[in-house]
């Protein structure tokens, strides 16, 4: 258990800059997800933390101590990779034992740790199987057990669920979080899947082009994105023009509402409006028409072409959307319960 | 869900107006398939017909000029092969060749296994260079290699070329392209770099990683490499002949001069034996869940 600080990290591979002035502070016992599209630098950040890559500039500190001269094998970090990385010549049990043997623990201690790891990851039936006899989910559970068996100071997970199918991914995701909370290990989880990140992280760091765009708890990230990139990357968002008023509020979609920053008269800004913040009225003179209606279970996604705002996505409770059909004339408005809007334009 | 995945619901948007996909006909023989099979059969005939002719000549004691349809089942005998197999000179040469196989395999693995491992886990950027470099032995013709080496070593360490085992370094070098590729494919197949990093993050030293993780998982590729080296050494003629050494291939040529039938029978026998043993090795590896990924196996 340890707090981790990455300070002003820069890393370039030839001419391409993977990380630029990257700073990340992680509290002890916290689970931070690094989220971003491929090539955003999230895996590089993890590999620098693990010691597999050397930063061109900047510091990595664990409990305040600089790790610059510590090779990976001295850092006492646990790591789980996307492609399982189990040793094919060893059974699940022997895989878990590997790190314990390296640490020269006594045979009795090793056995008791292995037994506990097998129990917490529910691998009892598979303990003596070889990797090629196990499913992807089972293999990744062994990899997880192996990584935490050595009581690492920090647990690093590099897209651990990306190779698994949807159902297993969800179960294992929750299992990872449960275990992480139970042993309280500081954890960095790299993923490109926003659902994964939002579901399990204490804080999510959204990355693009080697920079940390925003680091915040999942809810804040969704409700109050720092900029256009974060707004667009987390969930679906409509970027709609808001017009400023002299009283500091904004005019948008027929309503006047306060924003996360005050308005001035005659300026326009871009507001990030979530599809679920919109309502649709079936009127003939609303200046908009339905393009498509997709039933998604509890909600229905409606795509609308609005004369003023262009293409707009709206998520409507399915019970309220039963009358909508493509071609129908409608009016789009901001729901009455939306108290404040988030502005993500360049501003002023 | 992102904007992209939503807009993608509208089909045909932004689709380039190309020709419709070719229907790879579900009925009848496709022209491409026909050509493929015809070509395959032609190549097979090209290889098989001479061998069948050779087998007939070796095992049927009827001169080709007198071979008529009614004589097709007469005169078959294994005596030529038996005589060849019990010939003391052939047996001696075979023993030499087997030893050469063993030493060439050992030398090759000792040189190339560490090289392949270190390249893959420590400096993967060198892989393309090594792939090209290990082909060099095949760029130099044996005659040039032998003359160059002989001129150098006869002047400096004459005893080296006196022994039949002076062939070992030549064979190790000659088999290098096969061996390196087999080992490299093996390392790729087990994702050696990820295993290396996983083991390192658990605190293991390079020695521990090589002996406890990488080598045990390279068994399949090392056996594949050895099989290829063995096949190559058992068929190599140029080096041995140029250096005036008696190996199974050179002795077989000598033997064939005195007994063409027995010689050919022996050649066929050695070829079948080599192919069969390679096949058995691969099968046994596959049965144990080890995948052999090498061209030619």
- Smallest Cβ–Cβ distance between A89 and the set B1, B3, B216 belongs to B216
Of A171-185, B44-58, B67-81, B169-183, the least confident: B67-81
| Half-sphere exposure for B12 (CA within 13 Å, toward CB) | 2
Please check the confidence at residue B25 and state whether its pLDDT lies above 60.
no
B68: region left, alpha or beta (phi > 0 left; psi from -120 to 50 alpha): beta
Measured in degrees and rounded to the nearest 5, phi and psi for residue B109 equal: -70, -40
- Which pairing describes strands A77-80 and A154-158: parallel, antiparallel, or unpaired? parallel
Query: Quick check: A192 contacting B, CB < 8 Å?
Result: no
Please check the confidence at residue B11 and state whether its pLDDT lies above 50.
no
Beta bridge partners of A24: A6
| Half-sphere exposure for B113 (CA within 13 Å, toward CB) | 21
- Smallest Cβ–Cβ distance between B201 and the set A79, A87, A303 belongs to A79
pLDDT at B68: 79
Q: What pLDDT digit, counting tens, does each position of A133-165 carry?
A: 999 999 999 999 999 999 999 999 999 998 888
Mean pLDDT score, A242-261: 89
pLDDT at B72: 76
Mean pLDDT score, B90-94: 91
A86 three-class SS: coil
Query: Quick check: A303 contacting B, CB < 8 Å?
Result: yes
Q: Which of B1, B13, B186, B201 to mutate to test the interface with A (most CBs of A within 10 A)?
A: B201
**Shortest alpha-carbon distance between residue B210 and chain A (Å):** 12
Beta bridge partners of A77: A154
Q: Which tokens sit at A228? A: 């256009």
**Shortest alpha-carbon distance between residue B121 and chain A (Å):** 11
Report which listed range, A59-68, A109-118, B255-264, is most confident.
A109-118
C-alpha B11/C-alpha B243 separation (Å) is 71
pLDDT at B295: 44
Query: Quick check: B278 contacting A, CB < 8 Å?
Result: no
Measured in degrees and rounded to the nearest 5, phi and psi for residue A149 equal: -60, -35
Of A201-205, A206-210, A297-301, B84-88, the least confident: B84-88
Mean pLDDT score, B74-94: 86
Share above pLDDT 70 across residues of chain A, in percent, rounded to a whole number: 99
Please check the confidence at residue B19 and state whether its pLDDT lies above 50.
no
Only one residue has tokens 């990257």, namely A22
Q: Which of B193, B203, B287 to mutate to test the interface with A (most CBs of A within 10 A)?
A: B203
Beta bridge partners of A212: A207
pLDDT at A346: 66
pTM of the predicted model as reported, rounded to 2 decimal places: 0.78
Q: Which of residues 164-193 of B touch A (CB under 8 A)?
A: 190-191
Q: What pLDDT digit, counting tens, does each position of B132-172 carry?
A: 888 888 888 888 888 888 888 888 888 888 888 889 988 99
Query: Quick check: A232 contacting B, CB < 8 Å?
Result: yes
Of A29-33, A113-117, A245-249, the least confident: A245-249
- Smallest Cβ–Cβ distance between B202 and the set A98, A292, A301 belongs to A98
Query: Quick check: A85 contacting B, CB < 8 Å?
Result: yes
Query: Quick check: B124 contacting A, CB < 8 Å?
Result: no
More confident of the two residues B287 and B183: B183
Query: Quick check: B77 contacting A, CB < 8 Å?
Result: no
Query: Quick check: B17 contacting A, CB < 8 Å?
Result: no
| Half-sphere exposure for A322 (CA within 13 Å, toward CB) | 3
C-alpha B115/C-alpha B133 separation (Å) is 12
Query: Quick check: B2 contacting A, CB < 8 Å?
Result: yes
Please check the confidence at residue A58 and state whether its pLDDT lies above 50.
yes
**Shortest alpha-carbon distance between residue B279 and chain A (Å):** 23
Contact A236 B289 (CB under 8 A): no
pLDDT at A345: 79
Contact B216 A102 (CB under 8 A): no
pLDDT at B2: 40
Of A205-219, A245-259, B63-77, B266-280, the least confident: B63-77
Please check the confidence at residue B6 and state whether its pLDDT lies above 50.
no
Q: Which of residues 247-286 of A touch B (CB under 8 A)?
A: none
pLDDT at A187: 96
Please check the confidence at residue A13 and state whether its pLDDT lies above 80.
yes
More confident of the two residues B18 and B58: B58
Contact A292 B10 (CB under 8 A): yes
C-alpha B258/C-alpha A103 separation (Å) is 68
Burial (CB count <10 Å: 0-12, 13-18, 19+), residue B48: exposed
C-alpha B141/C-alpha B149 separation (Å) is 12
Contacts of B216 in chain A (CB under 8 A): 89
Contact B197 A88 (CB under 8 A): no
Contacts of B192 in chain A (CB under 8 A): none
CB pairs < 8 Å spanning A and B: 83
Please check the confidence at residue B8 and state whether its pLDDT lies above 60.
no
Task: Tell me if A343 sits within 8 A of A260, measured CB to CB.
Answer: yes
Domains of chain B, first to last: 20-77 (no CATH), 79-287 (1.10.3720.10)
C-alpha B116/C-alpha A265 separation (Å) is 69
Q: Which residue of A has its CA nearest to B195?
A: A85
Share above pLDDT 70 across residues of chain B, in percent, rounded to a whole number: 86
Contacts of B205 in chain A (CB under 8 A): 73
pLDDT at B29: 58
Closest CA to B192 of B117, B123, B130: B117
Q: What pLDDT digit, counting tens, does each position of A305-348 carry?
A: 999 899 999 999 998 888 888 999 999 999 988 888 998 876 54
Contact B3 A74 (CB under 8 A): no
| Half-sphere exposure for B37 (CA within 13 Å, toward CB) | 5
ipTM of the complex: 0.82
């Amino acid at each position: 258990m340890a707090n981790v600080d990455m300070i002003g990290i820069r890393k370039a591979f030839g001419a391409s800059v993977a990380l630029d002035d990257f700073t990340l502070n992680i509290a002890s016992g916290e689970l931070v997800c690094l989220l971003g599209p491929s090539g955003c630098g999230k895996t590089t950040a993890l590999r620098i933390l693990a010691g597999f890559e050397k930063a061109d500039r900047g510091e990595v500190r664990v409990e305040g101590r600089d790790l610059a001269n510590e090779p990976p094998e001295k850092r006492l970090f646990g790591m789980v990779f996307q492609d399982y990385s189990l040793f094919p010549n060893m059974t699940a049990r022997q895989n878990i034992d590997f790190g314990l043997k390296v640490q020269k623990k006594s045979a009795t201690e090793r056995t008791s740790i292995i037994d506990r790891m097998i129990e917490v990851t529910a691998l009892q039936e598979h303990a003596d199987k070889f990797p090629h006899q196990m499913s992807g989910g089972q293999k990744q559970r062994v990899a997880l057990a192996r990584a935490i068996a050595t009581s690492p100071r920090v647990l690093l997970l590099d897209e651990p669920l990306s190779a698994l199918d949807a159902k297993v991914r969800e179960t294992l995701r929750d299992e990872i979080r449960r275990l992480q909370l139970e042993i309280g290990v500081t954890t960095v989880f790299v993923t490109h899947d926003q659902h994964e990140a939002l579901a399990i992280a204490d804080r999510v760091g959204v990355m693009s082009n080697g920079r940390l765009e925003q680091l915040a708890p999942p809810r804040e990230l969704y409700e109050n994105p720092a900029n256009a990139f974060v707004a667009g990357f987390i969930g679906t968002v409509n970027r709609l023009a808001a017009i400023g008023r002299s009283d500091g509020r904004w005019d948008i979609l027929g309503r006047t509402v306060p924003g996360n920053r005050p308005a001035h008269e005659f300026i326009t800004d871009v507001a990030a409006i979530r599809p679920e913040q919109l309502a649709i009225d079936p009127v003939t003179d609303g200046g908009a028409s339905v393009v498509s209606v997709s039933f998604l279970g509890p909600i229905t996604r409606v795509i609308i072409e609005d004369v003023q705002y262009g293409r707009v996505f709206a998520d409507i409770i399915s019970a309220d959307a039963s009358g909508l059909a493509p071609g129908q004339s409608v009016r789009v408005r901001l729901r009455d319960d939306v108290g404040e809007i988030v502005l993500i334009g360049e501003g002023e | 869900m992102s904007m992209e995945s939503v807009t993608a619901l509208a089909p045909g948007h932004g689709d380039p107006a190309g020709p419709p996909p070719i229907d790879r006909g579900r009925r009848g023989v496709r022209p491409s398939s026909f050509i493929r099979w015809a070509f395959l059969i032609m190549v097979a005939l090209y290889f098989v017909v001479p061998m069948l002719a050779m087998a007939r000549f070796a095992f049927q004691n009827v001169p080709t000029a007198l071979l008529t349809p009614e004589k097709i089942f007469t005169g078959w005998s294994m005596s030529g092969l038996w005589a060849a197999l019990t010939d003391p000179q052939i047996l001696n040469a075979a023993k030499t060749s087997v030893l050469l196989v063993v030493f060439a395999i050992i030398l090759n693995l000792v040189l190339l296994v560490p090289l392949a491992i270190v390249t893959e886990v420590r400096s993967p950027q060198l892989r393309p260079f090594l792939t090209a470099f290990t082909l060099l032995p095949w760029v130099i013709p044996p005659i040039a290699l032998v003359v160059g080496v002989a001129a150098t070593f006869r002047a400096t360490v004459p005893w080296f070329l006196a022994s039949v085992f002076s062939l070992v370094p030549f064979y190790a070098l000659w088999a290098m392209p096969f061996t390196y590729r087999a080992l490299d494919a093996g390392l790729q197949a087990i994702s050696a770099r990820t295993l290396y990093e996983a083991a390192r993050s658990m605190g293991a030293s390079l020695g521990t990683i090589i002996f406890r993780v990488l080598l045990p998982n390279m068994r399949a590729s090392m056996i594949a490499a050895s099989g290829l080296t063995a096949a190559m050494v058992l068929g190599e003629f140029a080096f041995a002949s140029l250096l005036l050494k008696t190996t199974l291939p050179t002795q077989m040529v000598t033997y064939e001069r005195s007994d063409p039938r027995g010689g050919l029978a022996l050649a066929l026998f050695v070829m079948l034996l080599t192919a069969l043993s390679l096949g058995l090795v691969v099968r046994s590896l596959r049965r144990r869940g080890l995948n052999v990924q090498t061209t030619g196996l």
